[in-house]
Structure 1
Amino acid sequence: MALSGGHKNRGELRIHESLDELRTDLADYIAELSDASVKEHGFFAIVLSGGSLIGLMGKLFEAPYIKTVDWSKWYIFWADERVVAKNHADSNYKLAKDGLLSKVPIVHSHVHSINDSVSAEDAADDYEFAIRQLVKTRVVSVSEINDCPKFDLILLGLGQDGHVASLFPNHSALNEREEWVTFITDSPKPPPERITFTLPVINSASTVAVVATGESKAEAAHLAIDAVGPECPLIPARMVQPATGKLVWFLDKLAASKLEDSNLNNKLG
């Protein structure tokens, strides 16, 4: 049975007994958000990441979602991407295509991946330009509090070091406030060249969902959700604080195993 509950600063916690339960809840959540977004403004702008996230979304291409979701209204983006060819094993696009997009009736022109034939810097510039054009044509909403795009849902994984997207601890990219998309050439995890959404864009979303499973993510989840005070490291995941949107954590029991008891009380089973 899933445990869910709120934390006044760190969003909603949805803690699951098993991976299968988490997959079902995540599919339900995405499908409901898709339906609400399409009814509200005619499209669903969803942002993906890499890692284990795509596999955890796998129930979406099963019944009932394969038939009940309005796939023609989905517009697909990436919170970060490795600057490699689209058929490269490290490509987040390839991961999403093989694991999800090829299995559902997505409109090909609605899938917005990076230009993989240019430098990391040019790829970031190109991707930001493409998103700006979609904001102008109202395919992507705009935030009420700044000029950033307001995606309906940004899905993020959680690194063991607390990174989200390709925003790594103590990296200068965390300080970028002007650009929507920035680039790095010194990723602490290979491959070194990547593009990534900046924190202002992530924090302008209608909903940000962080998905983490396994004991190896427990310390990062604790630091992101519980840790307060100047002695606690300010990991990137803790800097995900949507200005007007929702923050939701999808965790299994192992990833939630180090959370403080105060965050695990008064849950709705």
Structure 2
Amino acid sequence: MPGKQANLFPFNDVDALAPALRSHIIACQNAGITRHNVFKIGVSGGSLPSTLAQALLAEPTSEEDKVQFDKWEIFFADERAVPLDHEDSNYALVKKELLDKIPAGWGQPIVHPINTEFLNDTQELADQYEQVLVNSFAKGDSVKLPIFDLLLLGSGPDGHTCSLFPGHPLLRETDAWVAPIEDSPKPPPKRITLTLPVITHSVRIAFIATGAAKKDIMKQIFEEGNGLPCALVNEATGERCSWFTDNAAVEGVAYPRRGFL
């Protein structure tokens, strides 16, 4: 068990949250570039891409505040088995909210979408995406797990994250890096997802959760755990995990808050 708890950073609203999230991402970016001259980041969907765009597309205030998109490699923490231009596609959402809006001259990231040739075979879809990770993270070496510089995740109203749902057998997967799911309780049912060991081996994990609708599940995640996927990530990663929330999402949650420096 990690020695310290996950960090909870609440803000008045998304406008106050976004600059802090930007600072955190840039710190992770710079550490990744120092380590291996690239920033390997995994992102999920939902409301996260719009918050991410607000954070990353702001004009830099200094040299230290620059997003070096040309050093980024973007992967998807989970994805739906749909075409890349489908409204349910996480890639389509990230493209629309962020990638298409990166100003000329800021550099372009390398982006790794799913291979849509395999939409009708989720196991093969997962295997193909796992091979993308092998090609990027292993590069001829044998590694047990890929280690992302940062994973940016969300929390569903049931406490799920990526496409790992409460009580689902996939939470016990220990071998695969990427796994298929065909019975997602949230549509669309067919998806692929990073597995829990991959998520918890990331150098840093940042959850973004906003809105009063999250209040009840945040209380469960932080006070009770209950084996919820988000709580499992907290418990496995400790202080490597940070939550960026608005006050509405954590109102009444009994858990130590931290000020963001």
- Residues 1:135 and 2:128 are matched in the alignment: no
* Cα separation, 2, equivalents of 1:19 and 1:172: 34
The counterpart of 1:53, out of the listed 48, 52, 60, is 48
- Residues 1:62 and 2:58 are matched in the alignment: yes
Relative distance call for 1:11 and 1:236 in structure 2 (3 A) is same
User: Partner residue of 1:103?
Assistant: 101
Aligned residue pair count: 251
* Cα separation, 2, equivalents of 1:258 and 1:30: 28
User: Partner residue of 1:253?
Assistant: 247
Relative distance call for 1:25 and 1:93 in structure 2 (3 A) is same
User: Partner residue of 2:176?
Assistant: 179
Percent identical = 36
Relative distance call for 1:83 and 1:66 in structure 2 (3 A) is farther
Relative distance call for 1:222 and 1:8 in structure 2 (3 A) is farther
Relative distance call for 1:243 and 1:267 in structure 2 (3 A) is closer
Moved over 3 A (4+): 7-10, 105-108, 241-245, 266-269
User: Partner residue of 1:154?
Assistant: 151
Q: Where does the alignment leave 5 or more consecutive residues of structure 2 unmatched?
A: none
User: Partner residue of 2:112?
Assistant: 112
Q: Between the two structures, name the one with larger relative contact order (CA 8 Å, sep ≥ 6).
A: 2
- Residues 1:205 and 2:199 are matched in the alignment: no
- Written as runs of structure 1 = structure 2, the 5 A alignment for 1:160-171 is 160-171=157-168
User: Partner residue of 2:12?
Assistant: 17
Instruction: Report the alpha carbon displacement of residue 242 of structure 1 after superposing the two structures with TM.
Output: 4.4
* Cα separation, 2, equivalents of 1:12 and 1:70: 26
- Residues 1:263 and 2:256 are matched in the alignment: yes
Structure 1 counterpart of 2:188, one-letter code: P
User: Partner residue of 2:39?
Assistant: 44
Instruction: Report the alpha carbon displacement of residue 165 of structure 1 after superposing the two structures with TM.
Output: 0.2
* Cα separation, 1, equivalents of 2:195 and 2:39: 21
Instruction: Report the alpha carbon displacement of residue 36 of structure 1 after superposing the two structures with TM.
Output: 2.3
Structure 1 counterpart of 2:40, one-letter code: A
User: Partner residue of 2:88?
Assistant: 90
Q: Where does the alignment leave 5 or more consecutive residues of structure 1 unmatched?
A: 1-6
Relative distance call for 1:220 and 1:56 in structure 2 (3 A) is same
Which structure has the highest helix share of the two?
2
Q: Normalization by structure 2: what TM-score?
A: 0.89
Instruction: Report the alpha carbon displacement of residue 101 of structure 1 after superposing the two structures with TM.
Output: 1.3
SS at match of 2:250: coil
RMSD: 2.4
User: Partner residue of 1:221?
Assistant: 218
* Cα separation, 2, equivalents of 1:14 and 1:130: 33
User: Partner residue of 1:4?
Assistant: none
Do the aligned residues in 2 keep the contact of 1:202 with 1:242 (CA within 8 Å)? no
Render the CA deviation track for 1:117-169: whole Å, top value 9, x for unaligned: 2121111000001111112228xx99xxx711000000110000000000011
Relative distance call for 1:186 and 1:69 in structure 2 (3 A) is same
SS at match of 1:254: helix
Structure 2 counterpart of 1:116, one-letter code: T
SS at match of 2:127: helix
Instruction: Report the alpha carbon displacement of residue 97 of structure 1 after superposing the two structures with TM.
Output: 0.6
